[in-house]
Structure 1
């Protein structure tokens, strides 16, 4: 498998970025198998030969796109919670930010889902990279007493799963953010599940 090309100049990076954005639209609207490199280059406004400077094939740009979307999602979440003072606040902020991100990137679900039929490793890595940092942050919060004890990986998977399906329901299916009452119901449920039990409960 050929390694992705890293552009040597800012202009090259901008071209590569345009190709990734065009691929996101093309794969999201037409599906991987119906998508074409010629349509990707037309959307990006570049010559078809330019595509092969950066990507060896349609499969290669899909792999790069999944990795790019993973990086963008994680960056978006990290920036959103950077000023939060504890893990509970970070979870509340992060949930809202994910819904906004999913709404802005409506093709996210379809592209990641399709990737498992092209490269199962990149599909799995997408979720494992989300999990890795999440698990670490939950474990740190447990050490500070901000989150109840338990397997941090299990907690991370549960939270990712909840957020994922709310994104499908609202951002992907309905193309909108949920009502505030829905968001608060979910956030209260998450907080109740994460917050350490009161002393009188632990002494029972």
Structure 2
């Protein structure tokens, strides 16, 4: 699906009714994709739930992959809303990393987020590589880039000493996910206190290796 077509059918320029119709289609698409997987998801089933014509869907999203892309972007926009709040990004790395981690853990622990991970990992269609790339760009890579920008600023202002902020951002995210997140994806029970413990210990270890000495 072309970027220009997405823009034409994005929030920009749509009436309130158009926005509502687009949201209904994407919400219905999420339900069906999560229930049935990408391969088995039926476009006609999506439109039955959303209401509206098939021609509208094809005009705005092009095909099933285009619809999946738009659904993924909307879902991630909803999930990332709290990360865009300026109050979590301060010049105190400890409080910022802790607030960032809390939001991240809350985000990836949601049942729909876990289901989306499973959907993407289990994709087995001809579009498998595209589906996984769409998910990576809209979710994991976006979260890493947000943290990278913050770390680069702290580096530039002399609070932290990090060789590569891109690598460091990925390392921090992976630290606070371990070992509970993989268990969540595999539906293996884990101590509910483990995410908080992983976060606190992860922040402590990360800062010991990156804070500039006074």
TM-score range (shorter-chain normalised) is: 0.7 to 0.9
1:117 aligns with 2:129: yes
Q: How many residues align?
A: 198
Give the TM-score of the pair, scaled to structure 2: 0.74
Change (3 A) 1:83 1:198: closer
CA deviation digits over 1:142-201, x for unaligned, max 9? 23444443311111111233455644433x4449996235412432233222242656xx
Q: Name the structure 2 match of 1:41.
A: 47
Gapped runs of 5+ residues in structure 1? 200-204
Q: Indicate whether 1:14 and 2:20 are aligned.
A: yes
**Stretch deviating more after TM superposition (153-162 or 109-118):** 109-118
Alignment partners' CA distance in 2, 1:34 and 1:175: 26
Q: CA RMSD in A?
A: 3.2
**Residue 76 of structure 1, CA deviation:** 2.6
| Aligned match of 2:202 | 189
Q: CA deviation at 1:88?
A: 2.0
Q: Is the 8 A contact 2:176 2:195 kept in 1?
A: no
Task: Give the alignment of 1:1-204 within 5 angstroms.
Answer: 1-2=1-2, 3-4=5-6, 5-6=9-10, 8-79=14-85, 82=88, 86-102=92-108, 103=110, 105-106=112-113, 107-113=115-121, 114=123, 116-119=128-131, 121-126=133-138, 127-163=140-176, 166-170=180-184, 172-174=185-187, 179-180=192-193, 182-195=195-208, 196=211
CA distance in 2: counterparts of 1:136 and 1:25, whole angstroms: 33
Which consecutive segments of 4 or more residues in structure 1 shift more than 6 A? none
Which residues of structure 2 form unaligned runs of 5+?
A: none
Alpha-carbon distance between aligned partners in 1 of 2:148 and 2:129, rounded to the nearest angstrom: 27
